[in-house]
Amino acid sequence: MKPIIFDVDTGIDDALAMAYALHSPELEVLGFTTCFGNVAVEDATRNTLAVLEQLNQHIPVYSGANQTLKRGEKKKYPKHVHGEDGLGNTLKGQPSLQAAHESAVDFIINQVKSRPQEITVIAVGPLTNIALAIKKSPEIMSLVKEVIIMGGAVKVPGNVNPFAEANIISDPDAADLVLSSKLPVTLVGLDVTMQTCLPKSKLDDWRATGIESAQFFAKMTDHYMKAYDSSHPGLGGCALHDPLAVGVAIDSGFVSTELMDVKVVTEGEETGRTIGEPDRKSSIRVCTEVDADRFVKHFLDRVIRS
């Protein structure tokens, strides 16, 4: 089992990625760390706890960054995509589970130090917690096994504007720090995630199971797919951004990668853009191709469990 720290900004595709990870015997999720991104950090923590409650899983959740590294608080959250609550308006009241007392940054540092070369970090939100952990304890850079990041758009256009992907533009300075840190990174960007599609018909299959958590996931994913109907008419479903990062942690054979030096633009109209140049000495593997059919099938076989 791979020990995982899973950094999320729970959102709808984050929630699907959580279920996929927790139902995968290859992974041992040690804890979830939360960051602002799709929603404010308090809501990301609440949503992470709510998803765990639905899945009947008691994994610790550590609350993290409420603002960017250098630019203060994020001003606008994508409510049209993830709903008012971040989970497609599915939440009914507060979860009864509570967040842990330790901070996300301290949890990351302490776990990585206590298990050198063992821990894989999967990060599917802005990279603020990882950047803060590196700043506070730079020695962790040589102690992490791998960091799998859902973020960036290297050879394809962005999804927030023609240049930038949402997780990177949410904190470009944090992304710049992490991607220039020499950490062993696998970058799962829009280059590959936009090739994955969860078709609408699968939500009917989830509803038909009669499983309570399946209704919860179907309702939130239906909301997400409606946003895709306006942004990507004709797709007939939604992309599986964050779940693909989990898929790569389970089986790196889902993707092909190229070693690249990746720079993050931090100023001007292209802020948040990830520019990749082939570099055989780089520590960053950029995912450039995906076996989308095999991955989507694998995800569907696992995401819903009774």
Read off the amino acid at residue 158: G
241 is catalytic: yes
Nearest by Cα to 146 from 114, 173, 182: 182
Which candidate in 241, 242, 291, 298 is catalytic? 241
Q: Which among ligand BDR, Ca ion, none contacts residue 159 (Cβ within 5 to 8 A by kind)?
A: ligand BDR
Q: Does 7 bind ligand BDR (CB under 6 A)?
A: no
3 state SS of 224? helix
Q: Does 273 bind ligand BDR (CB under 6 A)?
A: no
DSSP labels for 45-71?
HHHHHHHHHHHT----EE---SS-SSS
- H/E stretch holding 168 reads helix 166-170
Rounded to an integer, what distance in angstroms lies between the CA atom of residue 56 and that of residue 108?
24
Q: Does 241 bind ligand BDR (CB under 6 A)?
A: yes
Q: Does 11 bind Ca ion (CB under 5 A)?
A: yes
Q: Does 112 bind ligand BDR (CB under 6 A)?
A: no
Non-local (6+) Cβ contacts of 146 within 8 A are: 120, 121, 184, 185, 186
Which residue from 39, 166, 240, 260 is in contact with ligand BDR, where contact means CB under 6 A?
A: 166
Instruction: Provide the minimum distance between the beta carbon of 142 and ligand BDR in the complex, in angstroms, as a whole number.
Output: 27
Which residue from 45, 48, 159, 288 is in contact with ligand BDR, where contact means CB under 6 A?
A: 159
Read off the amino acid at residue 276: G
By CB under 5 A, name the binding residues for Ca ion. Answer: 9, 11, 14, 124-125, 242
Give catalytic residue positions: 9, 241
By CB under 6 A, name the binding residues for ligand BDR. Answer: 11, 13-14, 38, 124, 150, 159, 165-167, 241-242
